[in-house]
Structure 1
Amino acid sequence: MHASVHARRLSATAFACGACLILLPPGPAQAFSGGNHEKITRAALTWEPRSLTAMADSRDGAIVADDQGDYFKLGILHCDNADFLASRFTSASAYPRTRDEANTELLACIRGSVARLRAAVRYADGLVDPQGRVIARQSDLGSPCTWNERAGRAKCNVLEQLGRGWHPIEDFYSHSNWSDQAGAGPIGTDNPPGLNRTGIAPFLDIRRYSSMKDADWAEEAAGLIPEDLATGCYPDFESTGVKTADCTGRVEHNRALNKDTEAARRSGHGNFQRATELAAQDIARQWKDFTAELIATYPDNGRGEQMICALTHDTPALSCPRGRRVLREPTRASGAFTGKKLLTDRSR
């Protein structure tokens, strides 16, 4: 069903679904644990403590901002509803969603991350003056950042854009069959195929796509999506602005695909562990690509390097004097995840 015409609007950048504008009914904030969002993000980044906490904290970090309030209800912020099951796995009627329709939802999810990266690069300009000096008032974390889509301190602005752009990428690995092994028994809507991939998804090349026309990167990405890839159907708003009312007859998020907890049905066969490891590897890739984009975009007076220093250091006005090259490279994830929850548990 369509959301009420009396609903309030979230800002267009909140969901970045091209020209569409989704209307959502007001509702209370939904407070969920982001325990493994935090573990994944900390495994991917080597920042100083307060800066890393601002990004990764399981309750108040930028990485979980998309799980708060009405953002939680937008499927493209969690890579939901890209479900599909090929005809060779169905014994009755055709699956109710085509491969192209599934791709539309996944590409909308990717489009949001592309838009967030572009915005983060723009906001980073406010961290450093034209001479390459860090602007103290724009990089200070003396008071907490607020993730409300309103322009504030440049460091908070950049962290919010990165966190909201990385959240769907982490969710993709939990909510899809990318690295899964299927369970025992016949393949079907209750036991979708597993792709058993061991590397990060090539169609999440966010930095490269950010430099391309949207139509061009979308065509390229669609060509990289495997025929049997699926993310689960979930009763939230799709990129069209339509809210899924019923997932009957489809590959469901809750029952068939989510690995949001180690106890989830799909988390066995090492699926939970592989999803967390690949999510951390991909965030490490995304951060490395973002730093490269800053250096390429702001080469004069070492401004790009200074922006990176300002983002990763807790007192950058002191730690990042002009002319000192301080680059923090992310480490690859160790794979040592022992928490009970992966990402946000979207089961009901």
Structure 2
Amino acid sequence: MLVCLLAAAALVTPAPAAAFGTIEGGGQHREHEHITRAALACPGRDCFEPGTLGRLAGDGRGFGAVGSPDLTEVNVPAAHCDDADFLAGGYPRTRGQATAAVTACVEHLRGRFRAAVRDAAGLLDGYGRILPDEVLLDGGCALAEQGEQRAKCTTLEEFGRALHGVQDFYAHSSWADEADPARPVGPDNPPGLNRPAPSPVLDLRGTGAPDVPPDLATGCFVLHDAVPGVGVCERRITHAALNKDNGLIDAVTGEATGPGTPRGRVGTNFAKAVTGAVVESRHQWRELRDALRDEYGERRASVMVCALTHDDPLSDCGGASDRTMIASFVMFALFLGVIALSSRRRNPAG
């Protein structure tokens, strides 16, 4: 009976996380959601209001756009910046292979970023007015693969997928962390670069090859993620050895505590990964706004950004909707009427 119970427990235990967490349970604490909220929820026109932020980051009940890769791209290394492992000195993979994997990740995320810029065009009509059917999110957003066509939803999904990847870069790579000084450097304790965010590697608006440092590595990932590696990850730096995926993150401040992985518990590695992911997410949001301005011009881009961030863009994004334009016209007509009436009173003979 005990053997049966243990076997049943193994079947329902979640598989090891391949990224910052998207759920609450199985060692995860909705890390992607909390990072995204800490990065993008703030006062101001270009910050995300609560309802829309829930669609992008998740709301505790659903993954949100940033969690989409964990639904449909779990086995796509480029979506999570995995499999770019390398270590100098007799390693089973070359620096060129590792750099190619980093480049594949960047190109994948560039594709998502460009798709967000493209889909934003559908928010407005030819006169720069918001299209109501494209921005109303009653009932939430489905995935594009499930038939979602509303421009706000598809733009948020593409941008969320790009954010997922750049956040994973800090959790899965050696960019921002350090090795355990108490152990020798090797596949189970790769060197860290201890660099800040944003990373020039993640140039999503660019088109050229990313400038990859010679010691940058991410972990080899397979379902049986372990140290030392097994299967295709044998003798390689694994995701299990390098990731800083799990821990507690304050969704307001971004403060990171309680690291849940061995690499995350080395020094302040988990906090460094979270800080890097928060800073990078803010940077990529600025990059997206700049890309919209370059593509569509200042005026249209301003309305697009408002529509993407506000819960009621038809009311809040001044001058964009037909309703707002009509109201402005009525107010202007009343203003002219008052002027005319005042002029007649001053000049009754006229």
Q: Same fold (TM over 0.5)?
A: yes
1:100 aligned to which of 83, 93, 96: 96
TM-score, length of structure 2 as denominator length: 0.73
What residue is the counterpart of 2:196 in the other structure?
198
| 2:273 aligned with 1:272 | no
Q: Is the 8 A contact 2:22 2:67 kept in 1?
A: no
Looking at structure 1, the residues matched to 197 and 159 of structure 2 have their Cα atoms a distance apart, in angstroms, of 22
Which SS does the other structure have where 1:206 is aligned?
A: coil
Looking at structure 2, the residues matched to 125 and 232 of structure 1 have their Cα atoms a distance apart, in angstroms, of 37
| Equivalence map 1:1-348=2 (5 Å) | 32-33=23-24, 35-45=30-40, 46-57=47-58, 59-68=62-71, 70-87=72-89, 94-149=90-145, 150-183=147-180, 184-207=182-205, 209=206, 212=207, 217-218=208-209, 221=210, 224-235=211-222, 245-254=231-240, 256-261=241-246, 262-268=259-265, 269-299=267-297, 302-322=299-319
Q: Is the 8 A contact 1:133 1:321 kept in 2?
A: no
What residue is the counterpart of 1:339 in the other structure?
none
Q: CA deviation at 1:151?
A: 4.8
Deviations 1:72-102 (A, max 9, x none): 1111111000000011xxxxxx211101101
Q: Is the 8 A contact 2:22 2:30 kept in 1?
A: no
Looking at structure 2, the residues matched to 47 and 113 of structure 1 have their Cα atoms a distance apart, in angstroms, of 21
Q: Is the 8 A contact 1:132 1:322 kept in 2?
A: no
Q: CA deviation at 1:306?
A: 0.5
Q: CA deviation at 1:235?
A: 1.6
* AA matched with 1:282: E
Structure 1 unaligned segments of length 5 or more: list them: 1-29, 88-93, 237-243, 325-348
Q: Is the 8 A contact 2:197 2:280 kept in 1?
A: no
* AA matched with 2:30: G
Looking at structure 1, the residues matched to 80 and 163 of structure 2 have their Cα atoms a distance apart, in angstroms, of 10
CA shift in 2, pair 1:166/1:31, >3 Å: closer
What residue is the counterpart of 2:255 in the other structure?
none
How many residues were matched structurally? 268
Looking at structure 2, the residues matched to 185 and 176 of structure 1 have their Cα atoms a distance apart, in angstroms, of 19
Deviations 1:208-252 (A, max 9, x none): x1xx3xxxx12xx1xx2111111001027xxxxxxx943110001
Q: CA deviation at 1:188?
A: 0.4
Looking at structure 2, the residues matched to 232 and 266 of structure 1 have their Cα atoms a distance apart, in angstroms, of 12
Looking at structure 2, the residues matched to 263 and 173 of structure 1 have their Cα atoms a distance apart, in angstroms, of 15
CA shift in 2, pair 1:289/1:147, >3 Å: same
The share of aligned pairs that are identical, in percent, is 42
Q: Answer with 1 or 2: which has the greater Rg.
A: 2
Q: Is the 8 A contact 1:134 1:321 kept in 2?
A: no
Q: CA deviation at 1:193?
A: 0.5
Q: CA deviation at 1:60?
A: 2.6
- Consecutive aligned runs of 4 or more in structure 1 exceeding 3 Å deviation: 30-34, 148-151
Instruction: Give the number of the structure with larger relative contact order, counting CA–CA contacts within 8 Å between residues 6 or more apart.
Output: 1
Q: CA deviation at 1:116?
A: 1.0
Deviations 1:158-215 (A, max 9, x none): 01110111111100100011111110221001110011112321110112x1xx3xxx
Q: Is the 8 A contact 2:84 2:99 kept in 1?
A: yes
Which SS does the other structure have where 2:280 is aligned?
A: helix
Deviations 1:43-67 (A, max 9, x none): 1113111100000015330000000
Q: CA deviation at 1:113?
A: 1.0
Q: Is the 8 A contact 1:259 1:266 kept in 2?
A: yes
* AA matched with 2:51: R
Which SS does the other structure have where 2:263 is aligned?
A: helix
* AA matched with 1:290: L
Structure 2 unaligned segments of length 5 or more: list them: 1-20, 41-46, 224-229, 247-258, 322-350
Looking at structure 2, the residues matched to 289 and 199 of structure 1 have their Cα atoms a distance apart, in angstroms, of 14
Q: CA deviation at 1:297?
A: 1.1
* AA matched with 2:213: P
CA shift in 2, pair 1:245/1:32, >3 Å: farther
TM-score, length of structure 1 as denominator length: 0.73
* AA matched with 1:164: R
